Amino acid sequence: MRLVICFWPSVPTVDTSLYNLSPAQAAFFKTQTGIDNDEDLKKHILEVQAKAYKVAPYPCIHGFGFLQLNLSKFPVYEHILQLGRERPNAVLLDIGCCFGVDARKAAADGFPAKNIVASDVVNEFLQLSHELFKTTPASYPGCLLPGDAFDPEFLSIVAPSDDISPAPAIDLSSLKSLNPLHGRISAINAIAFFHLFNEEKQLHVARALAGLLSAQPGSVICGFDTGALEKGIVTANLSGVEYQTFSHSPETWLSLWDGEVFEKGTVKVETELVEIPVFDTRHLMMRWSVTRL
């Protein structure tokens, strides 16, 4: 799994030599796009990447991190797919989704696409999602919803729901914001999202996402962010560019969710620190999930 940090202090030029699909990625994108030839697929992806990099030159675009099938590698992924199969009207939110690749993968693996919301602050990414996957709003039933998670008109903070009754069906295609989904979402994918923000904003977005999560046992939020043995600012070098992120430790991440965001004892928080290669260095990352009990 690769690191996806979506900002640069300065902007490097595109390096197409970084393009390298794994067998699983190649099989997925060939099936989704209908492009069977490796070189034709590469040409198609590079064309979409070039358009995205002009809009927002993020490291996840530069290093092709947007092509990663991240969520499907998580231990909690099968549980999320099970929610989609077995829980009536279960909704999956892919927040900070970029092109919504995790959302598309979940749909391909059986989570009902009509019950998936992929959201990003960069609307052009959502438009390019259709270009990448060769779909249209008419042909793909998933909801691609642009919006700013810090805009209360789009996502306000409410107390976590305590209503465990089944949620009624909702037409996601009519959504203009995430607020109608308070207390209704069964699973939230927030991979490479929290580490974009400072400590104060991480708490804000944690409370905002908690208000969306269903109170039904098994509802889950998961993510993968820069981690640390002790919380604080982490400085690292990415492709010759120095950047800083605020990173929680497993202990502070647990206490944030279990006791500050949610009432203590009402969620199970699981964390795992892992070292991953990023270009020519290694970075400490934290894989995590928060599950309602």
CB 286 within 8 A of CB 1: no
Residue 9 inside a domain? The answer is no
8 within a domain of the structure (yes/no): no
Is residue 48 assigned to a domain? Answer: no
Q: What is the mean pLDDT of residues 85-96?
A: 97
241-247 and 232-238 beta bridge pairing: antiparallel
Rounded Cα–Cα distance for residues 53 and 253 (Å): 32
64 part of a folded domain: no
Q: Is residue 262 part of a domain?
A: yes
CA distance 173 to 144: 9
Domain hosting 175: range is 69-292
Reported confidence tier of residue 180, pLDDT bands at 50, 70, 90: very high
Domain membership of residue 34 (yes or no) is: no
Query: 153 near 177, Cβ under 8 Å?
Result: yes
pLDDT at 10 over 90: no
The total domain count for the chain is 1
Q: What is the CATH number of the domain that holds 182?
A: 3.40.50.150
Band (pLDDT 50/70/90 cuts) for residue 7 is: very low
Nearest to 179 by CA among 204, 202, 206, 211: 211
Q: What is the mean pLDDT of the chain?
A: 91
Residue 272 domain flag: yes
Average pLDDT over residues 217-235: 91
User: Residue 243, Cα to own-chain centre: how many angstroms?
Assistant: 21
Question: Residue 63: which pLDDT band, with cuts at 50, 70 and 90?
Answer: confident
Q: What is the pLDDT of residue 5?
A: 42
Whole-number pLDDT of residue 35: 98
pLDDT at 124: 96
| pLDDT the model gives residue 58 | 80
Residue 278's region, left for phi above 0, alpha for psi from -120 to 50, else beta, is: beta
In this prediction, residue 4 carries a pLDDT of 41
Exposed e or buried b per residue across 176-207, where buried means at least 16 C-beta atoms within 10 angstroms of its C-beta = ebbbebbbbbbbbbbbbbbbbbeeeebebbbb
> Is residue 18 a part of any domain in this protein?
no
Looking at residue 164, its pLDDT comes to 94
Per-residue model confidence (pLDDT) at position 17: 82
